[in-house]
Amino acid sequence: MALNRQHKWTVILMGTIWAAMILFILLFLLDYLRLRFRKSKEGAVTTSDGTQRNFFYRWYLVSRNIYQAVATRKNLIATIVFIVVIGISMGYMKPESYRSLKYPKLWYVVVVANRFGFFACGLYPIIFMLSMKNSFLGLLLFSSYERLNILHRWLSYVAVLFVIVHTIILGIYFKINNRLWFLRTTRIKWGWAGMCCLILIGITSIPMARRKYYEFFFIMHHLMAIGTLLTTYYHYSMCQPYVKAAAAIYGFDRGLRCIRAILGYTTLTVEIVGDDLVVLEAKRPRFSRMFKWTAGNHIFLNIPSINFFQYHPFTIANIKEDNTVKLYISARQGFTRRLLEKANLELPKVADSDESTISGASKDLNKADGTVDMHGKSQKIKLRAFLEGPYGAIINVFNVYDSVYFFGAGVGVTFPLSLCRDVLRDHGKVRKVVFAFAFKKANLMDWMLELLDDCKNLSAGLEVELNFHVTREDVSALKSYVELEMPANVKILCYGGRPNMDEYAQRIAEDGEHSRCAFAICGPEAIINSTKRSMNKFLTLQSDVYQHYEAFDW
């Protein structure tokens, strides 16, 4: 069956966007496969001065680093996505926009206005696909939905813009032709309602509003998304195929998420550490075969006694071999603040007391059996909860590099901590690991006990350096960690004050000049931006360095 001209160019636009995304995925896969299936485990493609890098390899690194420079800058990605999609759409706006075959060179304003509306509807299935938590596109990136979030957001902004332009052009046309009465018809009223839904989605999705009022954003986002589909369905019958496709994608994802949450029903133990940190731990859910995770993965947590309808993402701080799910949560506002308040009401606060002092921790580390007692005799409460997930990378991509650097700031250490522990257990081609943790108070070193325990049983071919930076206490509080008995290939260094990211960036750049290097960092937005500036200062276009940034963001 032949498509009419509006459907035809809408489908072409959708196909072009899909092709661009698949190309993006293939570039990522190419770089991973280059490292995964290289012949040498020692990184013999290059020497210390890089002389063995041939012409094609050097130019490959140049193109890869340009691609990576774009991929690690959200604002740049957003600008490119916006300009490219708008440019492609404008290219598809003119063809067959004439009023009739009699006047093939004369644009007909109603056809152009309707094409803007069709293009917006054509973006709906893509936008909903990119919003899926269970996305096949994420699996192709060895990841999940979070890498696709920025495309989801900016394609949504494009759709909002197209709908507004569609409305303005038709409004001017009806005004000029004295047909304003048409704007009061039932079909057009549905259109007005749909545009209002989209505008509300756009306003509540502004980063500042989204971060500050996340729970309000979450509710509005879903209500307005459903409202957009419903109003578009009744606005224009020819747009219904796109609405049905988007609704099917949304329904499938929500249904699958609901099943995963039910299978993840479990009991959490809750403990307070310090003033505003909450530690949650649970045994694997009953259907543990459905709950398998990779280092760096996260789950969506729902505690019905706090809020039955909201799920919040948190990184799993431990590795799958531990057979428990552990979460470190910093109480800020909304759900996390209510969780802290509930825990404070039901159990005595765990102070920075003698039971969990640093000296006690070091004694636990040096037990004859090598086991670690994480929190001593502190009291805990139990809460029933749903754990939906896990989501994130399906494999640990960091064990295919020669040297890896992991950085964590505050509670953001949960992401690099699990990655580092996983690399220590199965280091693959890795020969050097550098781990750095910046934190305010020495009692947070309790989180490192399992990592330190892992370091006691390392293979001889792996060099490990652990750097701990305490920012609000004297570095002498970490003295007991420096004195721990460790293998000769493990070095523990403790510092007072914030880490100098320029120094780390310079070391990474030097490693990237003669071997394959990767680094990952998780922390507040300010630290992420500072690290990016440091990396830009020292990296060259021929540095073989993979960069991964995780910021505190929604």
> What DSSP designation does 356 have?
G
In the chain, which residues have pLDDT < 50? Answer: 1, 40-51, 106, 349-377
Q: What confidence score (pLDDT) does residue 43 get?
A: 43
Smallest Cα–Cα separation from 232: which of 190, 201, 196, 198?
190
Q: Do 270 and 256 belong together in one domain?
A: no
Cβ atoms within 10 Å, residue 139: 13
Which residues neighbour 520 within 8 Å (Cβ) at sequence distance 6 or greater?
Answer: 296, 398, 404, 405, 406, 407, 415, 416, 419, 548, 549, 550
Q: Do 433 and 499 belong together in one domain?
A: yes
Which residues neighbour 262 within 8 Å (Cβ) at sequence distance 6 or greater?
Answer: 386
Is residue 145 classed exposed, middle or buried when 0-12, 13-18 and 19+ CB atoms within 10 A define those classes?
A: buried
Q: What confidence score (pLDDT) does residue 240 get?
A: 95
- Whole-prediction pTM value? 0.82
Asked whether 432 and 511 are in contact (CB, 8 A), the reply is yes
Residue 494 in tokens: 């403790």
Q: What confidence score (pLDDT) does residue 468 get?
A: 95
Q: Do 520 and 438 belong together in one domain?
A: yes
- Report the side by side order of strands in the sheet with 298-302: 312-315, 298-302, 381-391, 265-273, 277-283, 324-330
Q: What confidence score (pLDDT) does residue 192 get?
A: 95
Q: Do 467 and 363 belong together in one domain?
A: no
User: At 385, is the secondary structure helix, strand, or coil?
Assistant: strand
Q: What confidence score (pLDDT) does residue 445 get?
A: 87
Residue 516 in tokens: 């394959």
Q: Which of 260, 285, 303 is the last residue of a domain?
A: 260
Q: Does 59 reside within a domain? A: no
Residue found under tokens 């060259």? 540
Q: Do 251 and 307 belong together in one domain?
A: no
Q: Does 524 reside within a domain? A: yes
Residue 531 in tokens: 């690290």
Q: How many domains does the chain have?
A: 3
Q: Does 52 reside within a domain? A: no
What is the residue-wise DSSP string for 307-332? -SS--EEEE--S-GGG-EEEEEEE--
What is the residue-wise DSSP string for 4-57? PHHHHHHHHHHHHHHHHHHHHHHHHHHHHHHHHT-S-SS-TTS-TT-TT--HHH
Q: Does 108 reside within a domain? A: yes
Q: Does 45 reside within a domain? A: no
Q: What confidence score (pLDDT) does residue 362 get?
A: 42
Q: Do 292 and 242 belong together in one domain?
A: no
Smallest Cα–Cα separation from 118: which of 20, 14, 265?
14
Percentage of the chain modeled with pLDDT above 70: 86
Smallest Cα–Cα separation from 485: which of 455, 442, 445, 519?
455
CA dist 257 and 300 (Å) reads: 10
CATH code for the domain in which residue 286 is found: 2.40.30.10
Which range marks the domain in which residue 94 is found? 5-37+73-260
Q: What confidence score (pLDDT) does residue 370 get?
A: 35
Ranges assigned E (strand) in 252-303? 265-273, 277-283, 298-302
Q: Do 291 and 168 belong together in one domain?
A: no
Q: From residue 470, how far is each of 159, 273, 296, 499 by CA, in Å?
A: 47, 17, 23, 9
Q: What confidence score (pLDDT) does residue 107 get?
A: 58
Q: Do 328 and 382 belong together in one domain?
A: yes
